[in-house]
Amino acid sequence: MTEAAVLIDPVPAMDSEAAVVHPVGIEMVHRSRPEDAFPQNWVRLGHDRFSVEALLPHDHPFFAPVAEDRHDPLLVAEAMRQAAMLAFHAGYGVPLGHHFLMADLEYVCHPEHLAVGGGPTAIDVEVYCSDLKWRGGLPAQGRVGWAVHRGGRLAATGTGATRFTTPKAYRRIRQDVPTEGISIPRTAPVPASRAGRTRAEDVVLSETGRDGVWGLRVDTRHPTLFQRPNDHVPGMLLLEAARQAACLVAGGGGMVPAEASTRFHRYAEFGSPCWIRAVVLPESAGDTVTLRVTGNQDGKPVFSTLLSGPLVRA
């Protein structure tokens, strides 16, 4: 895998009067709990460029440190995703009721710059918006690039494609799907330690009796993965499923998903089995493993992810 292609050259900010620092409300990053909202403030650097200050918690119960003392790459990816939502809502005026849909997400983390300290870690997330298409005076879709710095050092980069829909248009897309889905797993989770987790309630996979294949466990009571009622399985839960499947296939102490490239093909629905498959690829060598993880539901692909990162010693 190669580093996500984003601009990382410093660009001067706008004049001091224009570069106003704005606080962030948790509703602007689609969170209902303050502990799950990571952006703290934002400033506009240019017409399509923003700087977001975010805090990575050192003791988050779900996004816990990996490999003993590194911030979870999925925590960094979530901070980037939230920064993008903030940029579009606050910077372009996309109404809060609009739906934020990501078609793909790529990131590359540099674990050497993501050590966990004794308190929250401040990061600067630069957000770059491009290829915007407009409808009714608002952006309807576009691409996003991220560059994450910690203490002046590049800690991560990423790219993604996103689009926005009004509540009315979203309901047309979803047609007869209930507006609120409830799912409580009836299957037992795989052992948490094998899935790269410490708590059973965070495990999103169950055994199927088939090598390299697991069933997706969706629990809408999970406080971090489900911030509010939803009519489909959130993308972050699918990314977590990919990570857990990769850890199960890698064996030992699992692996750290330092790099990921994900394509979301369709919504994962409640009430129908979703099968997660993982396979180690030939590119794996030494202490680094590369895997492909896919999700399928009702015979159709839901997502595909290419993961790469260091193995964790058991």
pLDDT at 24: 94
- Reported as a pLDDT band with limits 50, 70 and 90, residue 313 is confident
Which residues, including other chains, have CB under 8 Å from residue 172's CB and lie 6 or more apart?
none
157-170 pLDDT, tens digit each = 999 999 999 999 99
How confident is the model over 76-97, as a mean pLDDT? 96
How confident is the model over 229-255, as a mean pLDDT? 96
How confident is the model over 101-112, as a mean pLDDT? 96
Q: What is the DSSP string of 74-105?
A: HHHHHHHHHHHHHIIIIIH---TTSEEEEEEE
| CATH topology identical between 22-172 and 177-310 | yes
Strand 153-165 and strand 259-264: the pairing is unpaired
pLDDT at 4: 53
How confident is the model over 258-282, as a mean pLDDT? 96
How confident is the model over 96-125, as a mean pLDDT? 96
130-158 pLDDT, tens digit each = 999 999 999 999 999 999 999 999 999 99
215-229 pLDDT, tens digit each = 999 999 999 999 888
> Which of 236, 268, 254, 272 lies closest to 313, judged by CA?
254
Class of domain 177-310: alpha beta
Between residues 258 and 68, which one has the greater pLDDT? 258
Tokens at 83, concatenated: 């920064």
pLDDT at 9: 42
- DSSP H or E run through 249: helix 235-250
How confident is the model over 198-207, as a mean pLDDT? 97
Look up residue 151 and give its DSSP letter: T
Q: Look up the CATH superfamily of 22-172.
A: Hotdog Thioesterase (3.10.129.10)
* Percent of the chain with pLDDT strictly greater than 70: 94
pLDDT at 13: 42
pLDDT at 285: 85
Domain range list for the chain: 22-172, 177-310
Euclidean distance between CA atoms 205 and 195, whole angstroms: 8
pLDDT at 8: 42
Between residues 89 and 7, which one has the greater pLDDT? 89
Give yes or no for residue 7 having a pLDDT over 60. Answer: no
Q: What is the mean pLDDT of the chain?
A: 93
pLDDT at 177: 87
Give yes or no for residue 265 having a pLDDT over 70. Answer: yes
- Reported as a pLDDT band with limits 50, 70 and 90, residue 16 is very low
Give yes or no for residue 14 having a pLDDT over 80. Answer: no
Contact present, 256 and 243 (Cβ < 8 Å): no
